[in-house]
Structures are given as C-alpha cells and as structure tokens.
Amino acid sequence: MSLFRTRTLAEASAQGQDNFLLLRLMAASMVIYGHGNAVSANARFPDLFVWLGWGSYSGAIAVSAFFVISGFMITGSYVRRRHLPSFLWARLLRIYPAYVFCLLVSAYLVGAIVTSLPLADYLRDQQVWRYVSKNLELGKYLAYHLPGVFTGNQVGGAVNGSIWTLPAEVRMYLWVALVGVTGILGGKYLATVFIAALVAWGVMRPASIPLVPLADFVPLAGYFALGAFCFLNRAWVYVGWPVALVTGILAWLAHGSVVYPFAMALALASFVFAFAYNTRCDRFNRLGDYSYGLYLWGFPIQQVVAQHVPGASGLANAAFAWPLAMVMAIFSWHMVEKPALGLKALPGKGYQWLASVRGHARRKTALKSREGEA
C-alpha cells in the first residue's frame, strides 16, 4: 500500500500530485486551535500537544510546518524559474493581496464595528491608518493595536497576533533570491554546504544572521532551511510514514536533551512529506488554497468571539471562530488571491515583448545596413 511506501522525495514529487493544500489548511486550523487558550480567559482544556509532552503548543508546531513547506516549495520555485523578477513578482502576489485585504477590513470594518470609541473619533485616529501602513512595511516590528478595539480581551487588544511570522517569511524569500541570483542554488552541493553553514551560524551566533533581525525568527529560518535542503537533496532524502514514525520516536526519546530541537525538526519534516505524498486526500486540491486566508483571519475573528462570548473556553473559542474564519478565507481566495495570482505571468510576458521589440529593432537595423551597402 502507498500508505507504507518509502521512496525518495524526488520519486514522490514526480508523481504529480500531493496534499500540501490540505496540510497547510490543517496547519492554519491548528494555529486557531492553539490560540484558543491565549485569546480566551477560560483555558479549561490544555493544548493537546503540550499535554502529550511534545514541548511546544500546537500553534508553534503548525507554524514550523508552514516554514518547512515554504522552504521546500519556494526553493523549488526559484530553481524552476531562475528568473529573479518573475520570482519576486510571484512572491509579492502570494503575500500582499490577501494581507492588504485583511489589514484594510480589520482596520476599517471590524475595528469600526467593535471599537469602544465613537465611530467618528475612531476613523479620525491616526493609529487606524498606522495599523495598515506600518504592517504593510513587513518590518521587524509590526503594529498590533487599533484604538478602542479588543482592549478588554485577554491578550491586551492585539488585533492580529498571527501576522508576526510574515516578516520572517518575506526575509526567507529574500534569502532565496539572494542565493539564487549569485548562482549558489545552481549547484546542489554548493547550496547544501551554504545551508549547512547558515544553520551553524544560526546555532552559534543567532543574533548576527543577516535578514534575521529577531530571535523569534531564527527557529523559523531553520525550518525554512530544512525545507530548502530537502528540495535540493530530494534525490536521496527518503520519505514515507515509516520514516515519519522512526524520526518521531527518536524525537520523543530525545525530549529534554540538547538535540531535541533538531530531532523534532527532522520528525516534523518527515511528517510533512509523508502526509503530502503518502496520503490519498488529493481531491481537496480541486477546491482552492484557503490556508493563507484562514491563517490571516483566524486571530481577529477569535478576538471578536472572545469579546462577544467572554466565558467560552479556549476550545469553544476556536470552534466558534474556525467556520467564520473559513468563510473569510474562501472569500479571500476566490475574490482576492486567485485573481491576483492570475497575474503571475506578467514579468515573463513583458520580457518576451521586450525581446521581440529588440529583435525587431536589430532586424530593421540590419536591413538598413544591407540597403546602404547595396
């Protein structure tokens, strides 16, 4: 059965189908579940992964899985394109449209509805536009508060605590672009040595890594690097549920030791690829990629639920918020993200148009030259 099949990542990815969309949706759902106790004032039920003794709560594990997937797929995207403008344009289209939509609706609709201030005072407050403009920069420090919004909630008025990972994600894109344009990604062995050197740098001097300005970004960068490593070495990296089981057991046995973070990373990556390639759930791919929208909208809607159902447990908060966030994710995908992604081909078309213009000009110049000689 394919469920227990072990093969190289190259062989698995060559089959032409995977379950990354469903896996990312599950991860986004885990983030909502993981934020339930933090957002709610009633942490009646402990986080499942903390209760099981994994040393991390579900939201952190899910975000780590996101970065493994991203490292694998984004590295592959650059290697296939090898065209920097197209790569950066595709990354911009994936991150910003849904993000801008979420920021604007959160600031000017959700915030306007739930704020404790008079509506006119709220809309005049400079903090409202600053919430949008500051977060659009995706700098290392984001704006999390809106005037009079969620101020009585458990987490101190934060509108969207999930967006903290986006600056780290964008910085990983820039690292891929930098390594790609210098030609390092063109050689598997050179790129592997480079990744290993970066990981060693992160272990020994984490505060000095370029483009990784915050300590919280360093583990995410490590998971992204692991995904990139798996793509570059997919010819000999083995995946499958047996691999996931063995690495999971090893991580469990290493719990509490200095090697646990590394063992946990290997176990998580093994699970990611086993689920993606050894689980038959690919019918979900026909629906759409709702994970990013679900991730963006989960926290604000959980805050709305916490404000209106203050006595709900963390689990109940997540259960109430998930379908509402899913509705926003579906809308975001079909009305914002998917149409934006339809513009991915513009840089390539522009390059082809420019090349044709230049070719026409050269032919015209050559024709005039021949006429002059005649």
Q: Are residues 115 and 73 in the same domain?
A: yes
Q: Are residues 81 and 199 in the same domain?
A: yes
pLDDT at residue 287, rounded to an integer: 84
Residue 131, pLDDT > 90, answer: yes
User: What's the pLDDT tens digit per position in 255-286?
Assistant: 889 999 999 999 999 999 999 999 877 677 78
Residue whose tokens read 């990815």: 13
Q: Are residues 350 and 333 in the same domain?
A: no
Determine the Cα–Cα distance for residues 13 and 259; give it in Å rounded to an integer: 29
Residue 1, pLDDT > 50, answer: no
Residue 65, pLDDT > 70, answer: yes
pLDDT at residue 360, rounded to an integer: 52
Q: Are residues 59 and 182 in the same domain?
A: yes
User: What's the pLDDT tens digit per position in 350-366?
Assistant: 555 555 655 555 555 55
Please, are residues 224 and 184 in contact by the beta-carbon 8 Å criterion? no
pLDDT at residue 56, rounded to an integer: 86
Q: Are residues 144 and 289 in the same domain?
A: yes
Residue 367, pLDDT > 90, answer: no
pLDDT at residue 284, rounded to an integer: 78
pLDDT at residue 3, rounded to an integer: 66
Residue 70, pLDDT > 60, answer: yes
Query: What band does 121 get if pLDDT is binned at 50, 70 and 90?
Result: very high
Determine the Cα–Cα distance for residues 40 and 200; give it in Å rounded to an integer: 39
Q: To the nearest whole percent, how much of the chain has pLDDT over 90?
A: 73
- Those residues with Cβ within 8 angstroms of residue 240's Cβ, 6 or more apart along the chain or in another chain: 4, 5, 6, 7, 274, 277, 278
Question: What is the number of domains present in the chain?
Answer: 2
Q: Are residues 253 and 353 in the same domain?
A: no
User: What's the pLDDT tens digit per position in 159-215?
Assistant: 999 999 999 999 999 999 999 999 999 888 999 999 999 999 999 998 899 889 889
Average pLDDT of every residue of the chain: 90
Amino acid letter, 183: G
- Those residues with Cβ within 8 angstroms of residue 327's Cβ, 6 or more apart along the chain or in another chain: none
Q: Are residues 6 and 51 in the same domain?
A: yes
* pTM of the full structure: 0.90
Q: Are residues 275 and 355 in the same domain?
A: no
Residue 370, pLDDT > 70, answer: no
Structural domain boundaries enclosing 223: 2-343
How would DSSP label each residue in 191-259?
HHHHHHHHHHHHHH-GGG-TT--STTHHHHHHHHHHHHHHHHTTTT-EESHHHHHHHHHHHHHTTTSTT
User: What's the pLDDT tens digit per position in 80-94?
Assistant: 888 899 999 999 999
Q: Are residues 298 and 350 in the same domain?
A: no
**Per-residue pLDDT averaged across 30-48, rounded?**
89
**Higher pLDDT among residues 289 and 42, named by residue:** 289
Q: Are residues 368 and 229 in the same domain?
A: no
Q: Are residues 357 and 283 in the same domain?
A: no
Measured in residues, the chain has a length of: 374
Nearest to 63 by CA among 87, 89, 28: 28
Q: Are residues 265 and 357 in the same domain?
A: no
**Per-residue pLDDT averaged across 113-130, rounded?**
96
Q: Which residues pair with 239 in a beta bridge?
A: 7
